[in-house]
Amino acid sequence: MVIPRRDTTVSEAARVDRPAPESLGYDLVDRPASPPVPNGWYAAIDTASLPAGAVEPFVAVERELVAFRDGHGDAHVLDAHCPHMGAHLGGGSVSDDTLQCPYHGWRFGGDGTCVEIPYSTTRIPSRACVTSYPVHERDGLVLFWFHATGTPPTYEVPTFDEAHDPDWTGPTVFRREFVASLQDMAENNIDYTHFFFVHGRNALDESTSRFHTDGPFSTVVETFEDEGLTFTRFTYGPGVALLRIPDLATVLTTTTPIDRRHVRLLWHFYFPPGVGDTPEVADAIVEGVVGDHGLGADQPIWRDKVFRERPLLVRGDGPIVEFRRWYEQFYEGSRPADAGAGS
């Protein structure tokens, strides 16, 4: 199974491998700052990669973090550095329901509070705690909630049927890290024109496509009539989305900002009967989505581009203004109110 596409060499020049501009160390004046990290649920790690007693350090939302699973099977996400003398808790170990620092053995509960200083009779100082992030584990993922002001979760990520249907196969796990700003990636999904120039697909008839919003959720439906393909993407805040390609695959996609210019993808592909039991078909679908004509074609664009607060939009650019209005809600508390989406 190969997802049909228009043959093109239009974007070959953009695919030339070269370092991200900022990594060259030049002091440039024409590269405005990327948007801050939006508030929302993000993937910390696969459930399968965090067995009982495991401790896994990771970097996300411009911070060093650590995930661990306690003796009751509950997953937790904490800031990585110990309040005592700053050791990295990623080198620690799980003891009962606590994470024990590798340096002097202070023990922290899943809520980040220090519950024991094993060598001291001093009362535990009230400031002896690390920031703890709300965790929500479902459908094979450990999600954590980030908010610039520490506000508790304002929405939930729904589950989906394919993950629990015994007739479906999955997940096939896909991971990748690269240079991109999170919002640039997100806008790609409603940037109809780029499908032609970047992905070599036939031009998308805007009248066959839709963009809906519902609070922190949005839905994009894109129909490529010539190819008989419809992509429906349900987006749950800035970090999690579900992509359905009827009869081919459902993909749980998470995109986690490492910092303002780097992202980490953790995607789970699920395949329906007739697809999942034919590995070469399933492989071709994954390749179509993430290979040179899919995600791989977008990456050089995201790596090199700057984020325009006020892009020069023209008719045919798709619902980018509507998308930005929707996306602005996730920046609450993370940037001045007057630094809006622009249009």
Q: Which residue ranges make up the site for ligand FES (CB under 6 A)?
A: 82, 84-87, 101, 103-106
CA R_g for the chain: 22
Q: Considering the complex, what minimum distance in angstroms separates the CB of residue 188 from Fe ion?
A: 4
Binding site partner of 50, from ligand FES, Fe ion, none, Cβ cut-off 5-8 A by kind: none
Query: Dihedral (C-alpha) 222, 223, 228, 229: value to the nearest 10 degrees?
Result: 0
Q: d(Cα 243, Cα 257) in Å, to the nearest integer?
A: 19
Report H helices in 101-240: 182-188, 194-197
Q: Considering the complex, what minimum distance in angstroms separates the CB of residue 181 from ligand FES?
A: 34
336: helix, strand or coil: coil
Q: Considering the complex, what minimum distance in angstroms separates the CB of residue 265 from ligand FES?
A: 32
Tokens of 331: 């920046």
8 touches Fe ion (CB under 5 A): no
184 touches Fe ion (CB under 5 A): no
Binding site partner of 82, from Fe ion, ligand FES, none, Cβ cut-off 5-8 A by kind: ligand FES
Nearer to Fe ion, 66 or 204 (CB): 204
- Closest by CA to 209, choosing from 235, 230, 237, is 230
Nearer to ligand FES, 84 or 325 (CB): 84
Q: Which of residues 278-317 bind Fe ion (CB under 5 A)?
A: 298
Q: d(Cα 283, Cα 43) in Å, to the nearest integer?
A: 24
Q: d(Cα 53, Cα 55) in Å, to the nearest integer?
A: 7
Q: Considering the complex, what minimum distance in angstroms separates the CB of residue 112 from ligand FES?
A: 13
188 touches Fe ion (CB under 5 A): yes
Q: What is the largest CA-CA distance in the chain?
A: 74
193 touches Fe ion (CB under 5 A): no
Q: d(Cα 55, Cα 90) in Å, to the nearest integer?
A: 6
Q: Considering the complex, what minimum distance in angstroms separates the CB of residue 124 from ligand FES?
A: 12
Cα 322 → chain centroid: 21
Nearer to Fe ion, 128 or 295 (CB): 295
Q: Considering the complex, what minimum distance in angstroms separates the CB of residue 92 from ligand FES?
A: 8
Nearer to ligand FES, 43 or 82 (CB): 82
- CB-CB contact of 74 with 91 (8 Å): no
Q: d(Cα 298, Cα 225) in Å, to the nearest integer?
A: 22
187 touches Fe ion (CB under 5 A): no
Q: Which of residues 55-74 bind Fe ion (CB under 5 A)?
A: none
Instruction: Enumerate binding residues for Fe ion (CB under 5 A).
Output: 188, 298
